Amino acid sequence: MRISAVAPRGMIAPVPAVPDLPVLPDLSDRTVLVTGANAGLGYFATEQLAAAGAHVLLACRSAERAARAVAAVRARVPGARLDVAGLDLADLGSVAACARAVDVGLDAVLCNAGVTGTDGRRTTADGLELMMGGNAFGHLALVAGLADRLRPGARVVTVGSIASRWSPLDLDDLQAERGFRSFRQYGRSKTAAMALAFTLDRRWRAAGRDGLALAAHPGFAVDVLSPSRPGVVEPSAVARRLARPARLLVQGKDAGAWPLVHACVGAGVRGGGYWGPGGVQELLGPPAPARAHDHVRSSDTGDRLWAAAEQATGLSLAGLA
């Protein structure tokens, strides 16, 4: 494999289970690529997958932060099978290079990395609005580049957000050129990413392809309620104490990663599905089927968005079907 940081094979030491959350099956025959695996949800998804024996490819923009994540996982999971590939979703050249570097079969791709907000409108290396270009179109381009590495039955899981509930797309202004508000554009980028996932699944089923495309969201997950991982997430004791009352409606990113991981490798998962926490308002709790709003699932919107993604990126996505 033409990527770095190959870890030694060995016995996998289980990570202590999060209370009331599922235990993963043996994943020693699975390979999963996780974007944005060096922090937050991506890090904890990587740790959980590695603890169950999966070979995990950490696709990250920063080599330094990726190395810290690898060290943190190895400290918890001796013998973890990890590789690192460079990936900047805001640069289609980097996306293509990452896809070319992966020369193993993939059982799942977790499209997790993303920008949650910007101070003013910013653009990618290719001139697209940063959140729409990276969160949605960049991931679709990556999956297109990996299409021939997806094994039969492979799953492509897009990380969505509860922000999609109140973020219908403006298909005439996907790049927020007529007016930019950071939180609104973030929500729209997540709506777009989810709509593309559901559209991909419809196209796969129409073509008879053996694969699943779906979405999952973490609920309301924050770093301060996450367990400490040196070099990756280190909430202070004071911040943790102050945040403790919020556990009624908020969870750590370790728990927020479980619906994402379940969508990648769990039982009962179907193409076009949507998973999230099963607690109050889908804010926290163990993985459960979630509801995606009609404006996210619209096939008309999805098809128009797909065409817009092809035009914006200059890529032909026909190979995905």
List residues with catalytic annotation: 186
SS3 of 249, please? coil
- How many residues in total does the chain contain? 321
Distances (CA, A) of 112 to 6, 109, 129, 263: 22, 9, 18, 12
Q: What angle do CA 90, 95, 97 make, to 5 degrees?
A: 135
Distance, in Å, from the CA atom of 165 to the CA atom of 296, rounded to the nearest integer, reads: 8
**Distance (Å, whole) CA 58 – CA 107:** 14
Distance CA 286, CA 279 (A): 7
| CA separation, residue 284 to residues 101, 193, 249, 273, 276 (Å) | 36, 22, 7, 18, 8
Give dist(CA 237, CA 219) in Å, integer: 23
Sheet holding 211-216, edge to edge: 81-86, 55-60, 31-35, 106-111, 150-159, 211-216, 274-277, 287-289
